[in-house]
Amino acid sequence: MELSFGEMLMIALVIVVLFGPNKIPEIARGLGQGVRKMKDAMEDVKSEIMKETDNPVSEIKREIEKVKKAAQEYDPTEKIKQELDLRKQIEGQSSDELIQESKEEINKLSDEYQGPVSR
């Protein structure tokens, strides 16, 4: 809502006529205090809303940290070791021989491998 200079002058003239020049400072003080209280109330509401929205965000951050920690603690080599031990029991090979075979199989998949390749 925009007021032109003429409209503001008319409002000021009406206020002076209705309340008199002696009451205008008192009315202005009251309006200023009212505006200040409204701003404080709005700031309180804003801070309460921010507190409420901050809680879910912090819970999500905690969950993300838990997942990161679990991912760091996960050791895929443990499963491989268990499979190698099971294979060792079945075939009677030592785990060192199985590890060596696994390394050779992995090496065959690398780009530097010079032997016969069936890809």
What are the pLDDT tens digits along the chain (119 aa)?
687 999 989 988 888 888 888 888 888 899 899 999 999 999 999 888 877 766 777 778 888 888 888 887 777 777 777 777 777 676 665 666 767 777 777 666 666 556 665 55
Residues 6+ apart with CB under 8 A from 11: 3
Start-end of H helices in 20-119: 24-73, 76-91, 95-109
Q: From CA 45, how far away is CA 41, in angstroms rounded?
A: 6
| pLDDT score, position 93 | 57
Helix or strand run (H / E) with residue 119: none
Tokens found for residue 23? 């009451």
CA–CA gap between residue 28 and residue 19 (Å, rounded):
12
Q: How many residues does the chain have?
A: 119
User: Measured between alpha carbons, how far is 94 from 75 in angstroms, rounded to an integer?
Assistant: 22
